[in-house]
Structure 1
Amino acid sequence: MKKIAAALLLASLSAAALATPETDGVMATLKQKYPNTTFTSIEASPLPGIYELTMGKNIAYTDKEGHYFLFGSLYDMEKRQDLTAPKRDAANKVDVSKLPLKDAIVRVKGKGTRKLYLFSDPDCPFCKQLESQALPQLDDVTIYTFMYPLDSLHPQARAKSEAIWCLPAKERGAAWDNLLTRGAQPPMKKCENPLAALATLGDSLGVRGTPTMFSEDGRILPGAADAARIDAWLNGAK
């Protein structure tokens, strides 16, 4: 977590270094014209007279007067490079230090030095694919699974998730694995559980489907990616 804090501090210092009297003036104009809009940061874009804005999780481009806004990607066609994508990815990172690990099913593979935060539904076919094909091939990773039943799609998923949670903590990982890979369902039980809180958390993080994964540095990877892609993605968090 110290690495994450250092990275956030570096990003903050970098943003401050990019500020100029010109961009400060544009920012002041924007805040005056649009007082209900949150402008996180601003910098000059490669296009003369156009400024790149970070607005929460959105990236936009505007003129000096803030009259016109463009949403989308700015491409450098000579380099064949999407200049907006890295900024958009950075804006969509989450602070994983705030994730409630006490509410997760924890599985450790190998030394477990890499961290993977997973939102998953026990009846989701793509989650089952992830559990049976990709995750068994990973090594040196601690997987924190947050049960995220999608009630509208899988009416029985919440009851199955609750049954898993009602088991002793040390048994939940194996039970989750058996449920998703073999269809072995534990006895249905009811107990106090974090499912409602996790539903609110997932929604606040922008989880729109399952499986959805987050890396240690807050990057998001939605869908049932294969093992090679997940492995490379996890290494990118270092």
Structure 2
Amino acid sequence: MKLNMKNMVTLALSVTFSLAANAEGVKVEKSQAEIVLQAAIDNFTKLVPIPIVAIEESPLPNMVQVVTEKGVFYATKDGKYIVAGNVHEAKEGLPNLTKARLAKENGKKIAELKESFITYKAENETSEIVVFYDTSCPYCTKFHNEVDDFNQAGVTVHYAAWPRQGVYNQQNKAQYTGAYYKLENVWCAENPKAALDAAAHRANIPRSTCENTIPEQFALGLSLGVSGTPAVFSIDGQLVQRGYAPVDDLIKNIRGLN
């Protein structure tokens, strides 16, 4: 994997990763620290072939924080060690710095697709959740039958389409799965909310097609670690609940993230 240095975050090393010309068009020579650090990053990309989102100064001394599409890693600046795991700040409550950084990245991904979700907005909104949903999932139906309870508690519910069979047929990648088509019928309906309500009551939804972001919503779920439905996340990408749970329990979990 080849990194785009222009997109790397400047490290607090008094030097920059970029070899691009400066504003006057003069080439900037690398310092020895930058050369060593560049070698460390090159080694990381060989050993961990996951697309990199950002490289930042780490909360740990003499290490860099490597934010990837699959999680946050830490690497020593000499390239000798790579650490995968959570970093907690040593103070009351042990704040999880790794989880907070990853949630920030997940929140960006959710924001990009938020307008394409089917939303049940609370009048007195205090929280927002994203629920990865499949029309064939009985526990999704059970969850949706309680959506009014969430709204009354101030929780806005955004549904993201997540076909449990995947988007494309495994035998023929040119064909969509049946689960995708059922979700497309809902998302492309003239009134998607009414269609989702009807689908939750096992009504047949008329065939509808349109340009949609269902594949992107499915990919978002995969990047968040979704493996089944319903899967509930906060609007900034923090996991609330895998699978169904009673309303009171879910609301308690949601409040605990705020």
Q: Percent identity?
A: 18
Q: Could you list the per-position Cα deviations for residues 176-197 of structure 1 after superposition, in whole angstroms to 9, with x for gaps in the alignment? A: 23433x3x21343233252xx3
Equivalent of 1:185 in 203, 213, 220 = 203
**Contact 1:126/1:223 (CA < 8 Å) preserved in 2?**
no
Aligned to 1:9: none
CA drift of 1:168 comes to 2.8
Structure 2 contact 134–161 (Cα < 8 Å) conserved: yes
The alignment status of 1:173 with 2:193, answered yes or no, reads yes
Is the aligned partner of 1:98 residue 2:125?
Answer: no
Listed as ranges, the gaps of 5+ residues in structure 2 are 1-8, 18-31, 46-51, 170-176
- Asked whether the equivalents of residues 26 and 66 of structure 1 are also in contact (C-alpha less than 8 Å), the reply is no
The structure 1 residue matched to 2:12, chosen from 11, 19, 23, is: 19
More helix by share: 1
Which deviates more from structure 2 when the two are superposed, residues 79-88 or residues 209-218? 79-88
Contact 1:54 1:91 in 2 (8 A): no
Cα distance in 2 between the residues matched to 1:122 and 1:79: 43
**Partner Cα separation in structure 1 for residue 34 and residue 247 of structure 2:** 43
Q: Which of the numbers 216, 229, 235 marks the counterpart of 1:200?
A: 216
Against the structure 1 CA distance between its residues 63 and 161, is the aligned structure 2 distance closer, same or farther, given a 3 Å change threshold?
A: closer
CA 1:41/1:123 → structure 2, altered by over 3 Å: closer, same or farther?
same
| Partner amino acid, structure 2, of 1:63 | T
Report the residue type matching 2:58 in the other structure. Answer: E
Give unpaired runs (5+ residues) of structure 1: 1-14
242, 251, 255: which one aligns with 1:231: 251
Cα distance in structure 1, aligned partners of 2:96 and 2:207? 51
Contact 2:40–2:78 at 8 Å: present in 1 too? no
Structure 1 residue 148 corresponds to structure 2 residue 170? no
What amino acid sits opposite 1:203 in the alignment? A
Are 2:208 and 1:215 equivalent residues in the alignment? no
Contact 2:65 2:75 (C-alpha < 8 Å) held by counterparts: yes
Give the alignment's TM-score, normalised by structure 2. 0.61
**Residues of 2 paired with 1:81 and 1:112: CA distance?**
29
CA root-mean-square deviation: 4.1
Does 2:47 match 1:34? no
State the 1:203 CA deviation: 0.8
Question: In the alignment, which of 164, 167, 170 is matched to residue 186 of structure 2?
Answer: 164
Q: Secondary structure at the match of 2:209?
A: coil
The one-letter amino acid paired with 1:51 is: M
Question: Hey, what does 1:69 align to over in structure 2?
Answer: 82
Q: CA deviation at 1:41?
A: 0.9
Pairwise mapping of residues 70-149 of structure 1 onto structure 2 (< 5 A)? 70-74=83-87, 81=94, 83=96, 85-87=98-100, 89-90=102-103, 92-95=105-108, 96-101=110-115, 103-112=116-125, 114-133=127-146, 135-138=147-150, 139=152, 140-149=154-163
How has the CA–CA distance of structure 1 residues 92 and 79 changed in structure 2, closer, same or farther, with 3 Å as cutoff?
same
Change beyond 3 A, Cα 1:165–1:76: closer
Gap change, CA 1:231 and 1:166, over 3 Å in 2: same
* Equivalent residue letter for 1:162: E
* Native 8 Å contact 1:164 1:186 kept in 2: no
Counterpart amino acid of 1:157?
A
Q: Count the aligned residue pairs.
A: 212
Aligned amino acid, residue 186 of structure 1 = N
Residue 94 of structure 1 aligns to a residue whose secondary structure is: helix
Q: Deviations over 1:97-128 (max 9, x none)?
A: 32251x33232344346433332111123423
